[in-house]
Structure formats: C-alpha cells, structure tokens
Amino acid sequence: MNAETRLRVAIVGHTNTGKTSLLRTLTRDVGFGEISARPGTTRHVEATSLMVGGRPRVDLYDTPGLEDSAALLALLEEYRDRGDGIDRIRALLDSAAARGELEQEAKVLRQVLASDVLLYVIDAREPMLGRHRDELTVLGLAARPLIPVLNFTGSAESREAAWREHLARIGLHAVVAFDTVLFDPADERRLYEAVQAMLTPRYDLLQQLIEEREAAWQALQRSAAATVADLLIDAASAARRVREEHAAELKSESAWLQERVREREERCIRQLMELFAFRSEDVVAERLAIENGRWRMDLFAPETLRRFGLSAGSGAVKGAAVGVGIDVITGGLSLGMAATLGATIGALWSTVDRFGRKLLDRLRGYVDLRVDENTLRVLAARELQLVDSLLRRGHASLGQVELKREAARAPWQGADLPVALRRARHHSEWSTLTAPGAPAREAERAAALHALQEELLHQLAGAPRPAA
Amino acid sequence: MADASPQRVSTPFQRRLLAEAWRRIEESGGSPVDATHAELAAVAQGGDFETRVLNRAQGLARSADLPRALHGLQQAARRAAWTLVVAGVLIGAAAARSTLNPDHAGLVNFYWVLVALLGIHTLAMLLWLVSLPFSFSGSHPLPTPLRAPFEALARMLAAAVSGNMQRTAQSAWMAVTGSGALGRWGLSALLHAFWLAALGGMLAVTLLMLSARQFDFVWETTILPDEAFIRLTERLQDLPARLGLGSLDRETIVASRRAAERPPPPGARRGWSALLVGSLIAYGMVPRAALLVISLLMLRHSRGRYRLDLELPGYARLRPRLLPASRKIGIIDADPGAVDGKAGEPRAGRLPAARETAVLGIEIDPPGTGWPPALAAGAQDLGIAADRAILESALQRLKSLQDRPLSLLVVCSLAASPDRGIARVLRDCRAAHHGPIALLLTHRARTALRLGETACREREGDWRRIAIAAGFDAAHILVLDLDDAAELRDFLLAHDDQQGAGGRA
C-alpha cells in the first residue's frame, strides 16, 4: 500500500446516535455538518480529512443514519443468489429501491464499500434491539473491519456493560467507548488504537496521528494555562494611584479599575474560546453561566466571592500594597533611615527610585489601589473552571452537560498566593491594564508568567502543589 | 552594533522579531487587514507551527509598513551605538587629558595616573563579571547600575518615535533585544564597546602627551615599606612586558622613588612611559576587546537560538487556524431533496372507547409500573417487540383476534428517534388491525432530560407526524410516562371521568 494513500473511514450507525458529533470531536471542528435531536439531520455523505504531518491523510465520511434496516435486510435477502455479500449490496445499489425509499441507506452502503474501516456509532443509553442486529448484519455483508463506538457512555443511563456483552456475543470485541459530550483524550487514543489493530498496514500513519494529537493536547493545556496566567498577572500587578483622603476620587478610580479588570477577563474568555476553536455563542458558555462572553455573575459582587468559599475583605479593590512596599525597603528600619540609605547608596538609584517614589507618595497622602487577593482567587477559579470544561468538552454536544465536579473551590484558599503573583503585586509596570506598552523588564514578567503557568497546570491536573 | 545585516534579506531572527511585533499589535487591539489571506497562505506553505506563524507574519507584513518601522529602529539603534562609541572616545580622551595635565608637567605620581586612568574601568569590569552569573539565574539582563543608562537611552528612543505602529514596533523591538540572553549580551557588547572606545581615546591622548611633554614619573609613600611598591611595579610589568612594553629594572624602580633632593634618572622616563602605555593596553584594552568579541559572539549565538514563546495567548490562539486538525472535503453524496409529512398538532390524546384493548410495545424496556400497562385492564398482551421476528408474530396474533371488537394500543418510547424504520412498523400495525388504534409515547421525562425541553417537544411533533402519516388518528396519540406511577394514576382518574361523561351523554 502506498504510504501516501489516504485512509478512508466511514462513520455509520442508526439515526441520532451522534455520528456527526463524533466527527466534530475528532476533527475539532465545531462547524462540521449539522446536528439536532431529530432523525435524518444528516441526509448526505460529507467528508473531512484529519491532518497528519500537515497533510490530509485520514478521510472521515459522515453518513446519514440507517433508519430502515429491516427493509434493507429483506431486500438483500432477495438477492441471495447474486453472490457474496458485496455482490448483493452492489445489486441492491443498482435497484430502484436505492433511488427511492431506501435512498439514504443506499448512500451509506455506497460509502461503506468505498471505505477501509467502519466506525459503527451506538447510543449506549439505548437497549440493544433487533434493528441494531439488522444493521450489523447488513454492514457485515460489506466485509469491512468494523469497530463499534459507544457514545454517551458518560451518561447515567449508559448501558455500556450490557452493550459490550451483546456485541461480544456476535463476535465484536474491539469496542471503544467514546463519549462525544464528555471528551477524554484517552478515549480518542483508544479509538485510533483500535483502528490500528484492525488495519496493521496503516499502523505507522495512525501512530503518527496518535502522537500528533497527544502533542497538540499538551500544547493546548499549556497554552490555556498561559492565557489564564497572563490575565492573573495583569490583574495582580494593576495599580492606580489616588489621594487617600479624596473619597470621590477613590470611588471613581476603583470603578475604573474594576471595569478594566472586567474587560480583561472578557478578553481572556475570548482567547480561550478561540484557543479551543469554540465559538463564543456555543453551548459551553451557556452551561457555565457565561453570557455574551462574560460571566453572568459579576466579578466584584460579594456573592461571587462567597460562592467560591471566600469572604469579601474590606472591599474588592483596596489600597493595600503601599505598606508592603515600605516594609520591603526598610526591612524593619525606620523611615528616615531608609531615606538616608537611599540617598547614600547612589549606585542603587534605580531601585530606590521605584520605591522612593512610593515613599514620597505616601508622605504626600497617596495610596495605590490594587485588585484584592480574593478577587484574584476568584478570577483564577472561574477561568480554571472554564478551561477544565473546555478540555473535557467534545466539539459536538447540543444537549445538557452535567459536568461532574465538586463544589467550586478557589485555588490557594487559606494559603498565600503563588510567588509569581505576589511578585506581580510589586510590579505595576507589568500590567497591560494600568501601564499599557510599558517597555523593558519583559523577561521578568515572562518568567513570572511561566512560573504561574506551571502552577495553574498543577491546579488543572488536580495534583498536589509543591510548597510555594 | 545592535544589528548586523542591513540587507533586505531577512534573517530568521528578523522574521521572528516581525512575528513578535505583530503579536503585540494584535494584542493591543489593532487587527491586521487581511489576516485570513495571510493565514491561508501560511497553511498552504506548510511546516511546523512556528514556521506557519512566521509565514503568516511575513504575509501580513506585505500590506503594512511594520518591517520598515523595525528596520528604522535597527538603524536608529546602530546610530545610537556609534554615538556611544564616539562619546566613549571623547570621554576617554578628556579623562586622560585631565589626568596628564600639562600645567602640572614635571614630577608625576605614576600610580596616581594609573588609578585615574584604569580605576573606574577595572571596577566596572569587575562589577560586570560579578553580575554575570546572577544575570543567568535571574531574569535581569544586567544589574541595575549597568542597565540604568540604557533604559534612559531607550526612553529617549521611545519618545522620538511617533504613531501607534511605530510605538508598538519599538516596544516589541525593545522587549526582544532588551531582555533575556539577547539583552544580556547586547547590553554587554554595548558596554564593552563603550569602554574600549574610552580606553582608545585615553591611549591616544596619553601617547600624545607623552610625546609632546616631559613627565618625570615617580612613586611615593608615607607609611608603606618601599619594598611593597618595588614588588608591585615588578608584578605590574609582567603582562605589558610580554607586549614588549615594560622593561624597568629594579635599580630604576628604586631610583624613581620621589626624593626632594634628586630627580629620577633620565633613562627611567621611557621605561615608565612604556609601562603606562603597556598597562593601558594589557589591563584595559585587551580584556575589553576580548569581552567585546565574546559578547558579540554570544549575541550572535543568542539570536540564532531566539525562539518565539508559542504558548503565549497571542500565538496559541492561532494554532487552530494555522495548524488545523482537519480539512473539510465537502459533501460527496448529496441529498436529492427530502419530502416531509405534515407535523401533527400537539394536543391531549385519549384512548379510543372500546370494550377490549390489545397492547403492543415496540422497542421499549418493560415500564416501571408493570406490563401490560394498567390503563388497559384485562388487555390482550401482545408483548414487547424488540425485533422484527417478535413483531411479525405479534401482528399474526393480532390478525387472529380481528373478529372481536378490539382497540389496539401501541406503546413506543419518545426517547427513540422517529425514523423511517419505526414509521414502517407503525404502518404495519395499522394495516394488521381494522379497529380503533392508539399510540402511547412513554419516557417523556427521560427524553426531556436527555435532549432539553425544546428538542423534546420537537421530537413529540415528529412522532405525531409519522403516526398520522401511518394512519393513526391525531386524537389517539397520547404522551404518558409509564414509569411514573403518579402520572399514570392521574391519567386513569381523568380518563375514567371522561369515559363516564361520554357514557352518560
């Protein structure tokens, strides 16, 4: 077999078992075909190709549902004298019925004969019925390797075990569970491995596909974590200088800062959606209470904090870090001492400059407004929840998703924020919110971002964190 | 000095710089004009993800003046570097001029001159050496005191550019060339170039002064033993001696100690001058030149190793578009156009009035409230047909009962999709029975949970449509969950009332 020959995979099954959903998930293309709960939504054969090594190598064919397998089987019985199964199917395809009432079934069979392997999609919530046996009998006549794919195995109604038993009794053992609603990359891998086992000549192609998908999955997780880390650094480092005794200014500046953080969060949601190739109007947002690309619950509302098991401090945005800044420079020395030190050690003028300005501001009655720590925890929690859902979500489902997760819990609860975020608190020039286009010191921000990215990956994996 | 090749041909580093600049422009909200075109071209050109990102940036660049802005910045940086070198020469010359002041020609303290010329240079070089290991571990390219002048220079450069595109290009350029290994070696190269120039200026002026003026170099001390200075001088001239500069013997050194009554020996002048020039070269220019070469080599190496941080959101978001998991082929066996029946109006169905009922289940699990369903007491149980064979025999039995006034109740699951296969089954049931016929759809709650309320209602409509098309009376299609005992009881109560009222009328 030529190395460049494409592998042809037909996706078949009864109507409404999620064939198009499976295809969308395998291709990561949310725009493929049309999906609804009504029968016969896909009425044509539509093809798409999986890219391996940057070239289309594995063609997938989405076929209409087999609806009337009983009639199909009865007709095939009539051609019993025409030869083997394939000849009988050919005879049927030439018949008048193939252009009439069995037109959709004929399309499926035509495609089956033109394919190397069949994925037979089963709704695992349904019992095994006569029509399933009829369909498998018809497909068996085509003498193509067939892999039953159990869809909706994550559902509470799933009868996966019963299906496996039934299928084993008719000689189908290479059964793969692949839930198109609750996506698991391990399922995808098992699916390709099953094809690999059936089609040994194409082992290398499929192995390359498996490896590329694995790498892409890792890259996706890392990028998602970096996207969230970018948001958190922007929010943590944002600072706004206001006059302490000026109540009106304090209020308006707080509102301004809050609005910037809200906008930034929306941008993060957009970036994540784009990253996962989801459209923002997709169901995933609906389920997670995201409306118009924005979480329905306001970031700064006290109940949002409570939902994540955090308590609202003295206000979501508060002037906090000024004191910290002074502690850092004086290191326990008196204020005057620090000022003298600053004046004498000329070589360190830049460092003193940074903190010195703060000191001066403090004396003039200025404070820095910053985003509260708990708000940062909420931001992290919400965006991690979104990433988690996006990672676990197939590109298909229309119906309800019950993401099985325990009560939302903000990360770093009852503990210090990660070092990277604590560092960000002292670098207002890192924030694209309050210091857009600030030059230099990019490497420091990048280093903090990558440290935080690793921390977020730990959080995503649910692994115990190393001590901060 | 900041950049090597002025040619139009872009190096891999310049291509990456361009991509980085585009990322910043796109993140700051400015969207490039024809990204779709550039992206399609990048996908067509193939390669790994980074190659595609670079090709995309190149494609975008054709329609914008970003490369020109970047090129301009490189030119400006080169000019700034040369300005720094010229300034270095002048500063060095001035330093040498003020040290070897012609007004004070005559007796000159050699060590005083040496420290004035090489002292700051040596301190700065030691500081650089000490800070180097820290700059590897930390993210600072250079310690604050070494970096500060360059940051001031960068601010000046930033103030000079105008326009959003230029500003973004500038910040991208600064971020890439000013941080990490590139920043470390770039700034180091600038630093060493400056000092080399300054030392060159010093050397030139020193040579000039030594040629045109007469200095009697002496050494002096108040509390140190003489021997210390003699030893120091001998050690000091070890290195210049290798360059052929520095051949003071012990006697000349001893004789050059400052003494009021006697000037140093005339032969010592050449020797001390040679040592001064030799020290400037051996302890100043040679190490600086070596460090400059090392820094430039490392800079070149770092440029070659510079890679885009493809995990950043600005690049990662391009991945699905530039490196798609799949490519659509399209529809290959089209739908010739479907014919749909009329959708049935949803309405409350009821059972047909009859003395006796036969019940037939199609592809359902036995309901939770038992089989046959209680709503047809004393019914003829035709069983549950899970496949074609059972259905055939059930229909045979039904045909044998046709002489009795019988109504048939077909029970189907709303969770099953109402396809042509099931439509055929309904048609067969209708054909096998002459009396009244009703369809009961069970599993509504389960279906609504699975599909959502809207899709569930849609499915109910589809079931009604195929049932009506199969010859069922719309009034005799009812939706009732046989798994729900309470719902069944309510229905039976209502049904009895209805039947009773019907009987009385």
Residue A40's CATH number: 3.40.50.300
Q: Are residues A255 and A393 in the same domain?
A: yes
Residue A339 has pLDDT above 50, yes or no: no
Average pLDDT over residues A443-461: 88
Q: Are residues A56 and A190 in the same domain?
A: yes
Which of residues A438 and A89 earns the better pLDDT score?
Answer: A89
Question: For residue A326, is it within any domain?
Answer: no
Residue A313 has pLDDT above 50, yes or no: no
Q: Are residues A403 and A277 in the same domain?
A: yes
> How, if at all, do strands B106-109 and A146-151 pair?
unpaired
Closest Cα of chain A to B178: distance in Å?
7
SS (H, E, C) B326-377: EEEEEEEECCCCCCCCCCCCCCCCCCCCCCEEEEEEECCCCCCCCCCCCCCC
Task: Give the pLDDT confidence score for residue A396 in this predicted structure.
Answer: 54
Closest Cα of chain A to B196: distance in Å?
22
Closest Cα of chain B to A354: distance in Å?
12
A103-117, A187-201, B118-132, B142-156: lowest mean pLDDT where?
B142-156
| Contact residues on chain B for A400, CB-CB shorter than 8 A | 449-450, 452
For chain A, the average pLDDT equals 76
Q: Are residues A140 and A231 in the same domain?
A: no
Residue B321 has pLDDT above 50, yes or no: yes
Confidence of residue A161 (pLDDT cuts 50, 70, 90): very high
Nearest CA in chain B to A156: B450
A432-446, B169-183, B389-403: lowest mean pLDDT where?
A432-446
Which of residues B398 and A330 earns the better pLDDT score?
Answer: B398
Task: Give the pLDDT confidence score for residue A149 in this predicted structure.
Answer: 95
> What amino acid occupies position B498?
Q
Q: Are residues A166 and A229 in the same domain?
A: no
Domains of chain B with CATH codes:
12-321 (no CATH), 356-504 (3.40.50.300)
Residue contact B336–A216, C-beta within 8 A: no
Question: For residue A18, is it within any domain?
Answer: yes
Q: Are residues A152 and A285 in the same domain?
A: no
Q: Are residues A140 and A62 in the same domain?
A: yes
Task: Give the pLDDT confidence score for residue A211 in this predicted structure.
Answer: 95
Q: How many domains does chain A have?
A: 2
> A9, A442, A449, A456: which to substitute to probe chain B, counting the most B Cβ within 10 Å?
A442
Task: Give the pLDDT confidence score for residue A201 in this predicted structure.
Answer: 92
Average pLDDT over residues A89-102: 86
Average pLDDT over residues B203-217: 89
Average pLDDT over residues B332-356: 61
* A47: contact with B, CB 8 A cutoff: yes
Average pLDDT over residues A198-216: 93
A148-162, A398-412, A416-430: lowest mean pLDDT where?
A398-412
Interface of A with B in 429-458 (CB under 8 A): 432, 436-437, 439-444, 446-447, 453
* Whole-complex ipTM: 0.73
| Contact residues on chain A for B335, CB-CB shorter than 8 A | 43-44
Q: Are residues A285 and A429 in the same domain?
A: yes
Residue contact A71–B386, C-beta within 8 A: no
Share of chain A above pLDDT 70, in %: 74
* Alpha-carbon gap, residue A312 to A372, rounded angstroms: 9
Residue A154 has pLDDT above 50, yes or no: yes
Question: For residue A45, is it within any domain?
Answer: yes
| Contact residues on chain B for A15, CB-CB shorter than 8 A | 417, 419
Confidence of residue A65 (pLDDT cuts 50, 70, 90): confident
Minimum-distance CB partner of A275 among B317, B415, B446? B317
Closest Cα of chain A to B193: distance in Å?
22
Question: For residue A414, is it within any domain?
Answer: yes
**Per-residue model confidence as pLDDT tens digits over A268-297:** 888 888 888 776 555 454 455 555 556 666
- What's the angle, vertex CA B406, arms to CA B401 and CA B407, rounded to 5? 125
Residue B197 has pLDDT above 70, yes or no: yes
Residue B344 has pLDDT above 90, yes or no: no
Task: Give the pLDDT confidence score for residue B341 in this predicted structure.
Answer: 46
| Contact residues on chain B for A71, CB-CB shorter than 8 A | 421, 424
Average pLDDT over residues A33-51: 81
A3-7, A356-360, B192-196: lowest mean pLDDT where?
A356-360
Minimum-distance CB partner of B178 among A68, A440, A447? A440
Task: Give the pLDDT confidence score for residue A365 in this predicted structure.
Answer: 64
Q: Are residues A305 and A422 in the same domain?
A: yes
Question: For residue A389, is it within any domain?
Answer: yes
Is B488 strand, coil or helix? Answer: helix
* A45: contact with B, CB 8 A cutoff: yes
Task: Give the pLDDT confidence score for residue B267 in this predicted structure.
Answer: 76
* B452: contact with A, CB 8 A cutoff: yes
Minimum-distance CB partner of B144 among A56, A103, A350? A350
Task: Give the pLDDT confidence score for residue B33 in this predicted structure.
Answer: 61
Q: Are residues A36 and A142 in the same domain?
A: yes
Average pLDDT over residues A340-364: 39
Share of chain B above pLDDT 90, in %: 15
Residue pairs between chains A and B whose CB atoms are closer than 8 Å:
229
Which of residues B482 and A347 earns the better pLDDT score?
Answer: B482
Looking at B161-305, list the stretches that DSSP marks H as alpha helix, in order from N- to C-terminal side. 164-177, 180-212, 226-236, 238-242, 250-255, 268-279, 286-305
Average pLDDT over residues B244-265: 76
Q: Are residues A91 and A156 in the same domain?
A: yes
Average pLDDT over residues B82-110: 86
Question: For residue A186, is it within any domain?
Answer: yes
Question: For residue A303, is it within any domain?
Answer: yes
Longest dimension (CA), chain A: 106
Of A133, A168, A198, which residue is a domain's last?
A198
Residue contact A130–B141, C-beta within 8 A: no
Q: Are residues A300 and A242 in the same domain?
A: yes
Minimum-distance CB partner of A348 among B144, B385, B391? B144
Share of chain B above pLDDT 70, in %: 82
**Per-residue model confidence as pLDDT tens digits over A214-232:** 999 999 999 999 999 999 9
Domain carrying residue A18: 7-198
Interface of A with B in 167-226 (CB under 8 A): 213, 216, 219-220, 222-224, 226
* B418: contact with A, CB 8 A cutoff: yes
* A44: contact with B, CB 8 A cutoff: yes
Residue contact A129–B450, C-beta within 8 A: no
**Per-residue model confidence as pLDDT tens digits over B126-168:** 988 888 877 665 545 555 556 666 666 666 666 666 666 677 7
Residue contact A271–B47, C-beta within 8 A: no
Task: Give the pLDDT confidence score for residue B1 in this predicted structure.
Answer: 40
Residue contact A15–B417, C-beta within 8 A: yes
Highest mean pLDDT among B188-192, B211-215, B218-222, B491-495: B188-192
Residue contact A130–B332, C-beta within 8 A: no
Q: A109-126: buried (b, 16+ CB within 10 Å) or exposed (e) per residue? A: bbbbeebbbbbbbbbbbb
**Per-residue model confidence as pLDDT tens digits over B418-452:** 888 888 899 999 888 888 888 988 888 888 888 87
**Per-residue model confidence as pLDDT tens digits over B358-407:** 889 988 888 878 788 877 667 788 888 888 888 889 989 888 888 878 88
Task: Give the pLDDT confidence score for residue A355 in this predicted structure.
Answer: 40
Question: For residue A388, is it within any domain?
Answer: yes
Residue A249 has pLDDT above 90, yes or no: no
Task: Give the pLDDT confidence score for residue A333 in this predicted structure.
Answer: 30
Task: Give the pLDDT confidence score for residue B401 in this predicted structure.
Answer: 83
Confidence of residue B286 (pLDDT cuts 50, 70, 90): very high
Interface of B with A in 273-332 (CB under 8 A): 309-313, 316-317, 319-320, 323-332
